[in-house]
Structure 1
Amino acid sequence: MTTLRLILGDQLNPCHSWFQEQRTDVIYVMMEIRQETDYVLHHAQKILAIFAGMRDLARVLKTQGHRVRYLRIDDVHNRQSLPANLDALIEHYEAACFEYQAPDEYRLDQQLATWCAQLSIESRMVDSEHFYTARDAAARQFSGRKQWLMEHFYRHMRTTHDVLMDAHKKPSGGQWNFDHDNRKRWPGTPFEPEDMRPRHDHSALWQSIVEAGVGSFGKPDAEQLAWPLNRHEALQQLEDFIELALPHFGDFQDAMSAHAWRMFHSQLSFAMNTKMLSPREVVDRAQAAYRSSAAPLPAVEGFIRQILGWREYVRGVYWAQMPGYDLLNAFGHDLPLPSWFWDGQTQMRCMAHAIGSSLDNAHAHHIQRLMVIGNFALLAGLDPAQVHQWYLGVYIDAFEWVELPNTLGMSQFADGGMLATKPYVSSAAYIDRMSDYCKGCYYDKKLRIGERACPYNALYWDFFLRNKQQLEANHRLGMVYRTLGRMEEADVVALQEQSATWRGNLDAL
């Protein structure tokens, strides 16, 4: 009796219990399909890295004695969709059972559940053995609450899993959160660590992707792709981060510079989101660095909060709110993305660098994503569905379960405040405080009105004017509306007119 076991492109975990024994009656199925390359337009490096990782895992499994059926993007037998390929393989191998690991994206979860329901053979879904929590953990914890505060979830996770806790069940250092210590501007030193990731030549793979007709955007960098192929490389990347960057991560985790695109960030999210690394081992390794005095507590706490807290939390939000979360648009924003989202050619230096880095590297760190690109998108009133699709496509670590709540909830406030307590927006002042972007920019950070005024300034005030009815009662925005209330009417009108000029011709910025 033959069993087919499906491995998806973000399930590249060689330590899964499936692989603990070699069974001649089990065939592992992996496939490169247009269904997955085409549901949004993806960055070239994202397609390359996932396919390369899949091929490497298939090689490892075969070396270990497992039976693997791998369908390449240009395979003549590849029907380019999950159900069509699985139907053909079940018939070909006369399979009596089908198994798959729980998908992390709702669309795949529903597709496979619907497909399995019509099968005439046995089927079952097993755990991916990756996350700390079950899909419904956050929903159970926040049952009955209108707003889901991550801080409550994070403290529960710290206590439950005994992470950064002292012997008396109190948080290490006497406090749960060291955000206040982690907001320094980077002066240029200490220097950005050398990028130690190995480079791989995937020119042949890229050629096959192109010839198969797969669309993409961004820089392929096919001859020197730096993203990890496998668990071994991901573990080395983790060690390099712990040694070279973690000690300074806390101080500068919110800092930005035109002279450093990586700063002190780990860039481990691709390896974790494809399951080459588990969140537990990453958290344990960071905690060990604190315990051995290799990294300070504020840095380690800030890093661990992103994984043990935020990553697990947004996954819970995703599964509790789907389907339909991707359609939310609390402000009714509907402007299309400016053309420079696809080429980085804008005179706003902050956006040119943040988007340029995204297009060149398939990566930007969280403050660039939130307080530069996302900030502008929300202030300008871009369609949140288009913003979501761009983020999902451009970032190598973007899979819908983690990207969608971050984009629609945290960044675009499209859920009306279920996830975030206020819109994360700012004028030029915040960007200037946390970066060197404003220096040498075509636009003047101090001006609100005029051709050379920084667009963030007028857009900021107009955003709160446009959405006064929805936001005025928010207790965290009292100062904003008090300031607006003290402005002269002529100044308010000038800001609205300036914003309308920007919003009416975003492509020209």
Structure 2
Amino acid sequence: MGALRLLLGDQLTRRIASLADLDAEADVVLMVEVAEEATYVRHHKQKIAFLFSAMRHFAEELREEGVRVDYVRLDDPGNTGSFGGELARALGRHAVDRVIVTEPGEWRVLEAMRDWREELGLPVEIREDNRFLCSRGEFAAWAEGRKQLRMEFFYREMRRKTGFLMEGGEPVGGQWNFDADNRKSLPAGIAVPPRRRFEPDATTRAVLDLVARRFGNHFGDLDGFGWAVTRAGALEALAFFLEAALPRFGDYQDAMKTGEPFLFHAVISPYLNAGLLTAEEVCVAAEREWREGRAPLNAVEGFVRQVIGWREYVRGIYWLEMPRYAQTNALDAQRPLPDFYWTGETDMNCLAQCVADTRAHAYAHHIQRLMVLGNFALIAGIRPAALEEWFLVVYADAYEWVELPNVHGMILFADGGLLASKPYAASGAYIDRMSDYCRGCRYDPKVKEGPKACPFNYLYWHFLIDNESRLARNPRMAMPYRTLAKMNPDRRAAIEADASAFLGALTSSYR
């Protein structure tokens, strides 16, 4: 007898562990569109459409290869809406003696998988996800005994392990990290390459219609959907990035511009996280661009660091620390999420622009996420679980393994410094320096107090005052706390009054 091989929607690669020893004659690959996964949070419409269409295309590719695929669509009669329910139904259709699956990217799904053997009455083999360059066991071994789990040191180990951008055991260019070269603001008049988008085919159009009908009350727009939904399309998107954007990615990766949500970013994270591209192949391709003289080292190193450094690192943190990690709230932040994260209706132009980009594309680049949307939530004291759910809902590349550590640790410092060495809090000056958002805003980043002041300015100092007992001893916060100590009482009182009035006027009723 053969095996029933359950393939999850974010495991769309032929080399996934659960398909490694596939017997095309005896085995059946089960793929299911389940309502439970689409609605446990109300995912962005484009994220659901991207995954369902990519799943349908991948299933067809397997069939063309001669693989038996049992594909259950969302609107198929009898669809139970859950993985467990669909496994049980599939076992009634196929004569198999075991279930094989690759571990999921979310703790809650893994917990459910561990119960399937008893529920289904036959062996269930859960294989390790082999798409990552650092296994969970390797990360745990690296972390063991360390007081601080800093990404930079993990990244160096990953460079040594993979050999990317290494020569003779040393980093090319004589240094590990070129981040200091990658913080330039965008010059006026610089040409931004028009992003490669993909016209929906008949399969994708059918999915878009399904999503519009079934998930019309979810966040986000479907108009203008242009994601690749096949590996061939994802490779085209990668090739476009390498040729048109990578050469300037390093210099301007922290820049932001109205109406340009993509700039020089790769915009391949949805493909990486769903399996259409692999971490190894995108790093090989990027390194080739440097070695053949088509892209500068600072750009390629910055890209490689995001993939084999940060991406692998946050996954390691997630599996090392779950499930307790999600429960921490080191700064005791309790404010509910403001409505404007959903509606975009705010006089703060930077936030309005970033929410609009997110609504239109299910995407915003990492500085928009960290230093605008995240920075506001940090200094306004937004409850971690509320912001984490929002990030999981709105982005096409968001899965809990990558979203939770980024938001909980990097953005909100809710883990107390396990992941980040300091809170990434900033005033309006940073946003003014790195974007053109402030030019179209009713607030002035150069004004510190009163009705014209940028709220980031007084909220930043309010955040430091409110968290002085928790943060003042952090060595990386020494300079702002020295400034705060010298601040006269009238200025502190004005900060508190402005912050209290602004925060008190926020509404948080939208869902």
**TM-score relative to the length of structure 1:** 0.96
Contact preservation (8 Å) 1:150, 1:313: yes
Query: Aligned equivalents of 1:68 and 1:101: distance in 2?
Result: 17
Gaps of 5+ in 1: none
Name the counterpart of 2:58.
57
1:214 Cα offset (Å): 6.9
One-letter amino acid of the counterpart of residue 207, structure 2 = L
Task: Show CA shifts across 1:363-401 (max 9, x none).
Answer: 000000000000000111111101000001100000110
CA distance in 1, matches of 2:147, 2:253: 30
Assess if the C-alpha contact under 8 Å between 2:375 and 2:425 holds in 1: yes
Tell me the residue number matched to 1:24: 25
User: Aligned in 2, Cα 1:213/1:200: closer, same or farther, shift over 3 Å?
Assistant: closer
Distance 1:461 1:433, change over 3 A: same
Alignment check: 8 A CA contact 1:13 1:276 kept: yes
- Distance, in Å, in 2 between the alignment partners of 1:215 and 1:437 is 29
Give the structure 2 partner of residue 328 of structure 1. Answer: 328
Two-structure CA RMSD over aligned residues (Å): 1.5
1:391-432 superposed Cα distances (whole Å, 9 cap, x missing partner): 011000001101100000000000011100000010001111
Q: 1:198 to 1:345 in 2, by over 3 A?
A: same
Q: How much does 1:69 deviate?
A: 0.8
Match of 2:207 in 1: 205
| CA–CA separation in structure 2 for the residues paired with 1:188 and 1:298 | 22
Seq. identity, %: 43
Deviations 1:7-38 (A, max 9, x none): 00100113446267652211111111111011
Partner of 2:67 in structure 1?
66
Q: Which amino acid aligns with 2:221?
A: K
Q: Distance in 1 between matches of 2:445 and 2:121?
A: 65
Question: Which amino acid is 1:138 matched to?
Answer: F
**SS at 2:502's partner residue?**
helix
Is 1:35 the counterpart of 2:36? The answer is yes
Q: What's the CA shift for 1:453?
A: 1.2
- Pairs within 5 Å for 1:134-149: 134-149=135-150
Partner of 2:82: 81
8 Å Cα contact 1:14/1:276 also seen in 2: no
Compare 253-262 and 40-49 and name the one that shifted more. Answer: 253-262
1:308-346: CA deviation from partner (whole Å, max 9, x where unpaired): 100000000000010121222111111111111112111
Q: What one-letter code is carried by the residue in structure 2 that aligns with 1:120? A: G
Residues 384 and 412 of structure 1 are in contact (CA less than 8 Å); yes or no, is this contact kept in structure 2? yes
Letter in 2 for 1:389: E
SS of structure 2 residue aligned to 1:402: helix
Unaligned runs of 5+ in 2: none
- Which residue is equivalent to 1:48? 49
Q: How many residues align?
A: 505
Matches within 5 A, 1:109-124: 109-124=110-125
2:218 aligns with: 216
Partner AA of 2:461 in structure 1? W
- Partners of 2:130 and 2:440 lie apart in 1 by 49
In the TM superposition, residue 58 of structure 1 has moved relative to its aligned partner by 0.7
AA partner of residue 42 (structure 1):
H
- Residue pairs, 1:166-315, within 5 angstroms: 166=167, 168-200=168-200, 202-212=204-214, 215-221=217-223, 224-315=224-315
Contact 1:185–1:255 (8 Å) recurs in 2: yes
Deviates more, 1:121-130 or 1:348-357: 121-130
1:345 equivalent to 2:345? Answer yes
Contact 2:257/2:435 (<8 A) preserved: yes
* Paired residues of 1:22 and 1:65 also in contact (CA < 8 A): no
| Deviation, structure 1 residue 215 | 4.5
> Against the structure 1 CA distance between its residues 20 and 143, is the aligned structure 2 distance closer, same or farther, given a 3 Å change threshold?
closer
> In the alignment, is the contact (CA less than 8 A) between 1:328 and 1:415 conserved in 2?
yes
Specify the alignment match of 1:98 in structure 2: 99
Kindly tell me: are residues 19 and 230 of structure 1, through their superposed partners in 2, closer, same or farther at Cα, counting changes over 3 Å? Answer: farther
Question: Do the aligned partners of 1:73 and 1:212 also contact (CA within 8 Å) in 2?
Answer: no
Moved over 6 A (4+): none
8 Å Cα contact 2:184-2:252 kept in structure 1: yes
**Deviations for 1:81-124, whole angstroms, at most 9, x for unmatched residues?**
11111111112223211111121211111111122244422221
Matches of 2:5 and 2:45, distance apart in 1: 28
2 CA distance for matches of 1:80 and 1:472? 49
Contact 2:225 2:361 in 1 (8 A): no
1-structure distance, mates of 2:449, 2:214: 50
> Are the aligned partners of 1:261 and 1:364 in contact in 2 as well (CA < 8 Å)?
yes
* SS of equivalent to 1:96: strand
Instruction: List per-residue Cα deviations over 1:454-492 (Å, max 9, x = no partner).
Output: 100110001000000010000011111111111111110
List per-residue Cα deviations over 1:158-184 (Å, max 9, x = no partner): 011111112x31110000100111000
Partners of 2:414 and 2:212 in 1: CA distance: 35
